[in-house]
Amino acid sequence: MIILSKKAQIKTLGLWVFLFLILSCNSDNTVGATDDEVGEEEQENPISLEDRLPQVFVDTKGGTIVDEPKISSDAVLVIAGDTIYNGNLGIEFRGATSQLLFPKKSYGLETWDENDEDINVSLFGLPEEEDWILYGPYSDKSLMRNILIYDLSRDIGQYASRSLFVDLTINEVYQGVYVFMEKLKRDGERIAINKLKDDENSGEDLTGGYILKIDKTAGNNLGEGYNDLNSFVSAYDPPNASAEQKTYFLYEYPDAEDITIEQKAYISTYMADFENALASDDFLDADLGYANFIETESFIDFFLLNELANNVDGYRLSTFMSKDKNEKLKMGPIWDFNLAFGNADYCGGGSTNVWAYKFNDRCPDDFWLVPFWWERLLQDPTFVAQLKERWIILRGNALSNAAIMSRIDAYLLQLNESGSKTQNFETWPVIGTYVWPNNFVGAAYEEELAYLTNWIENRLTWLDSEINQL
């Protein structure tokens, strides 16, 4: 546990008082009520501290949270009444579309020392780091879509952000149910690739590690839009592009400010060689083909996870890939599935019977399109055979109907027993209301959950048939 200085402890006195009051609440959220003041039902069925979600309390000390930069705040993290962190936290808004459209904001966090310097800390039992995220599900009224797919990814052996449900309170105002998660970054416990230094510009050192991203430019900007400072462009236009759309690869690690000219040249050349091999007539050749450039297993798992969820943003946004030293290109980790699992009313996002990778067929005018890779990979009989085999194996365990529904049942139990689901929708009364881009609007939470589970079961049935026919 990190202990604040005496001065900082005085500043957090108000937060501690509020924390005491919150943890003294009964299930009706009556602050400081005695047994005589609460009804008989509340006395018989209080929500125990052990059943409550982990709590995150933030006091911005009078500061205003903005998109950038992070501001210093006092934070207290609590599990079952026990304080696990009491210290300084940098906080800012995060997200592109969601930040503009949704009143329930998501936040980027950094654990800081008393001098506002980054410090690695283990929070909620997760591996030590300094960068964290509080994602606020809003249009996803199940509250579950991101945490579900991340758990499933780790279940099949592919790293995804470790995540858990929490209740968030900022400046003594309850903000709702959030998903506390790891930010994707190079780290031995996250994207585990070599730390590439700015003086490693030749030979074996130059081969990794790198992280690239296909995404919007938010957070990666040097200059305006996509440019030579923050990205490089594919020589191959996306299939069915109707308005000269391009595929851009953003520098994620080293980032645009730190990557050297030599490192830019290496990774852009590597990607060009991969794409040239994949597009060539010799793409199946053992010596000249694409398989010399990619870790096939990661591409297959990435494909299956995006198709399982029919992720309308899949392959074309929030798409990470990495290349470690002396290793091939690896797809993933997956990221940002809040519009997946039938939660989008455009471009087939709500359908259970379409391929996500064929997004361009349905929406060729969209600015961000799917690269040509996936159509081409499925023209390789060996790739398809491996994909089919992998799907059969996963359907027998981690991606079976029973395994997926078991996860959803566990989330529901946690959200119900904690009382947090009810409190969240009292704070954000979106049930029964269209929130962009909902494909379905249920009159009750139970209808939202039934839609999600039925959608998943129908999707699995369709994929079983369609993958078999590839």
- The gap from C-alpha 158 to its chain's centroid, in whole angstroms, comes to 14
Which residue has 């409190």 as its token pair? Answer: 423
Q: 25-34, pLDDT tens digit by residue? A: 433 332 233 3
Distances (CA, A) of 197 to 27, 88, 259, 295: 53, 29, 9, 24
**Residue 233 · residue 246 · CB < 8 Å:** yes
User: The dihedral of CA 333, 379, 276, 368: what is its sign?
Assistant: negative
User: The dihedral of CA 149, 152, 157, 163: what is its sign?
Assistant: positive
Give the Cβ contact number of residue 379 at 10 Å.
11
Q: What pTM did the predictor assign? A: 0.91
Residue 156 or residue 224, greater confidence: 156
Helical packing angle, 420-427 and 401-417, nearest 10°: 70
Residue 332 or residue 3, greater confidence: 332
Residue 103: asked if its preceding bond is cis (omega within 30°), the reply is no
Strand order through the sheet with 210-214: 231-233, 248-253, 210-214, 319-323, 329-331
Mean predicted confidence (pLDDT) in 389-403: 98
The residues near 331 (Cβ < 8 Å, ≥ 6 apart) are 294, 295, 298, 299, 301, 302, 320, 321
Domains of the chain by residue range: 6-182, 203-376, 401-468
Beta pairing partners, 89: 73, 111
Give the chain's length.
470
Beta pairing partners, 176: 168
- Beta-strand relationship, 248-253 and 71-79: unpaired
Which residue has 């990435």 as its token pair? Answer: 302
- Residue 140 sits at φ, ψ, to 5 deg, of -85, 95
Q: Which helix (H) or strand (E) holds 134?
A: strand 131-135
**Residue 162 · residue 179 · CB < 8 Å:** no
DSSP 8-state symbol, 416: H
Percent of the chain with pLDDT over 70: 90
Mean predicted confidence (pLDDT) in 260-288: 98
Query: Which pLDDT belongs to residue 44?
Result: 54
- Beta-strand relationship, 163-170 and 131-135: unpaired
Q: Is the pLDDT of residue 135 over 80?
A: yes
Averaged pLDDT score across all residues of the chain: 91
Q: 188-238, pLDDT tens digit by residue? A: 999 999 999 999 999 999 999 999 999 999 766 788 899 999 999 999 999
**Residue 246 · residue 237 · CB < 8 Å:** yes
Mean predicted confidence (pLDDT) in 354-382: 98
| DSSP per-residue codes, 306-331 | HHHTT-TTTTTSSEEEEE-TT--EEE
Angle (CA) 206 207 208, round 5°: 95
Distances (CA, A) of 364 to 47, 248, 284, 316, 370: 51, 17, 28, 12, 10
Ranges 2-16, 87-101, 347-361: which has the least confidence: 2-16
Tokens representing 351 are 């359908």
Q: Which helix (H) or strand (E) holds 132?
A: strand 131-135
Say how far apart CA 196 and CA 209 lie, in whole Å: 6
The residues near 91 (Cβ < 8 Å, ≥ 6 apart) are 58, 60, 65, 70, 71, 73, 107, 108, 109
Mean predicted confidence (pLDDT) in 104-124: 96
**Residue 155 · residue 175 · CB < 8 Å:** no
Q: 62-86, pLDDT tens digit by residue? A: 999 999 899 999 999 999 999 999 9
**Residue 380 · residue 280 · CB < 8 Å:** no
